[in-house]
Structure 1
Amino acid sequence: MKLVTYRYEEKEAVGVISPCGNYVYPVKDLGFAYDTMNELIDALSGEGLCGLQKAAEAGTEAEIPFEQVELLAPIPVPKQDMICLGINYMAHAEESARYKKEAFGGERPFAVYFSKRIGEAVKPYGEIEGHLDIVERLDYEAELAFVIGKDAKKVEEKDAAGYILGYTVINDVSAREIQTRHKQWYFGKGLDGFTPMGPWIVTADEISFPPKLGIQSRVNGELRQDSNTELLIFDIPHIIHELSQGITLKAGTIIATGTPAGVGMGFDPPKFLKAGDEIACTIEGIGTIKNVVK
């Protein structure tokens, strides 16, 4: 099942893509009277998802042709900052060290966590605000993100799958010189318009666990990143288990799992983004987001 936030006739709403893919079913017409994805996620905790699934399979006469809606980010305004993992593919760890002219020992004993501020997530086919007045080294990062479906506290790895609502695609847009200058990632990755997301949330029942999905990015049609999520150093069960030992992961929490090799800073010379560049991020079984830098 694909959950979407969309705009239709100048109104923003939450819906489900029909099984055939040709229509959007407003969740209000499926018996779920919620205005935002955050509200819907709270309602789906527990057995609510099964009820929505059955309602979507039955359909509704209030269907909207898919081509008539404008897709927004599935969670346009998250409840809190997104939790991200840094250098979580070995090949990306190597290219990152090379860019920073650091020695690379080939070991990652502990996960690197940071938060990414999202004032409003960029719609899946919207524009990336490049902040080119203060950013010269603008970069892209295709990532698999997952959404927590119910509050998670002290979760064992074997139980982690039961806490996932679904998966989406994000582009962790990054200002490399700001990252380097401030020696932390919050500012350089948290600028307004730095989080394209979508095109929807694919519910967890649609994806085998743990996910082994192809992940790619293209810039102006040129393939840059080409990997698979099975190469994560710290996988999703580890992430949920480790974080939940000391942090209650609330329903609706978005966690981005890191990016593979092939980002702009990894090339020699680097291939940073400029105004007008189009970045497409694709994850197998989920979809593609495509955004242009302005």
Structure 2
Amino acid sequence: MRLISFEQHGRVGTGLVDPSGRTVSRLCAADGTSPTMLDLVRSAGAPASVAAEPQDATPIEDVTVLAPFPSLLRNIICVGKNYRAHAAEFEASGFDSSSQSEVVPQFPVFFTKGSNTVIADGAPIPASSDTTNSVDYEGELCVVVGRKGRNIAPGQALDHVFGYTLINDVTSRVLQGQHKQWFLGKNLDGFCPMGPALVTRDEIPDVEALRLTTHVNGELRQSAALSDLLFDIPTLIATLSAQITLEPGDIIATGTPQGVGIGFKPPRYLRPGDTVTIRVDGIGTLSNPVR
């Protein structure tokens, strides 16, 4: 299933997008209420409790597509330096204050992004709010947890995945460096475009066979196979769940590949008027102008 959150005539709902991508059918619970995306994840999309109403099918251009999760259950869990080439380019940039010695991390590096950062596909990235003028892009695949779990073994990890979506982990590089940690530079309002859809795991038989690309103004900047992750999805889920209970609706952003703006000399930061487009075939295209 390809699911979206959307607004139409002042009414927010969750919809099932048809395979052509041209129409969306509003999903309704058995009692006639409109479930949120979190409701769907918690129910694992059970057809007995949630069903699409064919009479509500409408052209996709007639609705306003929101981020799949317009509000978050918890902060997005993000992974830093999870592609070898990106870890090297980030260390070489001089902005990496996360370690003194290791270029490629021995263990996953985690940080979070809050609800205030989330915006939808097509919404402008507010780069002008960063007074340091050092706004960078990071295209990433996200895993959405569908089953609660603690101490999840790597071999069972994918059974806890509901589906996948995309984010742009927008970052103020100067703030990231100045404050000697990653939270503040990555948590400015509007610094996490997400979506446009949440695609259920059954639609993606082998996520590692997919490729992530990022274009800025049509120029290819990032391109990497998801099989290139230093710490794959089962490892990330196992590592996190060994310490914290994962809940349905938790979002894990798996990291960004080489080709971010800070990796160029001089850096190629985002400017008002730019457009950033992130794509993973089978999951979708996330595109946002920069304001």
Tell me the TM-score normalized by structure 2: 0.92
Residue in 1 that maps onto 2:89: 95
Residue in 2 that maps onto 1:219: 216
Is the alpha carbon distance of 1:66 and 1:181 closer, same or farther for their aligned partners in structure 2, counting shifts above 3 Å? same
Instruction: Say whether 1:145 aligns with 2:139.
Output: no
Counterpart pick for 2:259 among 262, 268, 281: 262
Residue in 2 that maps onto 1:60: 54
Contact (CA 8 Å) 1:29, 1:62: kept in 2 or not? no
> Percent of aligned positions with the same letter in both sequences?
39
SS of structure 2 residue aligned to 1:127: coil
Instruction: Say whether 1:76 aligns with 2:70.
Output: yes
Instruction: Say whether 1:156 aligns with 2:150.
Output: no
Where in structure 2 are the equivalents of 1:35-54 lying within 5 Å?
35-44=35-44, 48-49=45-46, 51=48
Is the alpha carbon distance of 1:265 and 1:52 closer, same or farther for their aligned partners in structure 2, counting shifts above 3 Å? farther
Instruction: Say whether 1:185 aligns with 2:152.
Output: no
Between the aligned partners of 1:52 and 1:127, the Cα distance in structure 2 is: 36
Is the alpha carbon distance of 1:114 and 1:266 closer, same or farther for their aligned partners in structure 2, counting shifts above 3 Å? same
List runs of 5+ in structure 2 lacking aligned partners. none
Instruction: Say whether 1:247 aligns with 2:244.
Output: yes
Report the Cα offset of residue 106 of structure 1. 5.6
The residue identity in structure 2 corresponding to 1:94 is: A
Between the aligned partners of 1:173 and 1:29, the Cα distance in structure 2 is: 35
Residue in 2 that maps onto 1:288: 285
SS of structure 2 residue aligned to 1:247: coil
Contact (CA 8 Å) 1:161, 1:209: kept in 2 or not? no
Number of aligned residue pairs: give it: 288
Is the alpha carbon distance of 1:31 and 1:281 closer, same or farther for their aligned partners in structure 2, counting shifts above 3 Å? farther
Report the Cα offset of residue 30 of structure 1. 7.8
Offset from partner CA, 1:140-170 (integer Å, 9 cap, x none): 0000001001212111111111111100010
Stretch moving more, 271-280 or 255-264: 271-280
List runs of 5+ in structure 1 lacking aligned partners. none
The residue identity in structure 2 corresponding to 1:11 is: R
Offset from partner CA, 1:166-185 (integer Å, 9 cap, x none): 00010000000000000111
Contact (CA 8 Å) 1:78, 1:118: kept in 2 or not? yes
Between the aligned partners of 2:95 and 2:26, the Cα distance in structure 1 is: 51
Contact (CA 8 Å) 2:208, 2:225: kept in 1 or not? no
SS of structure 2 residue aligned to 1:4: strand
SS of structure 2 residue aligned to 1:262: coil
Report the Cα offset of residue 39 of structure 1. 2.4
SS of structure 2 residue aligned to 1:28: strand
Between the aligned partners of 1:101 and 1:182, the Cα distance in structure 2 is: 11
Between the aligned partners of 2:279 and 2:86, the Cα distance in structure 1 is: 17
Offset from partner CA, 1:218-260 (integer Å, 9 cap, x none): 1111111111111000000001111101100111001000000
Instruction: Say whether 1:234 aligns with 2:231.
Output: yes
Residue in 2 that maps onto 1:23: 23
Between the aligned partners of 1:73 and 1:107, the Cα distance in structure 2 is: 32
RMSD: 2.1
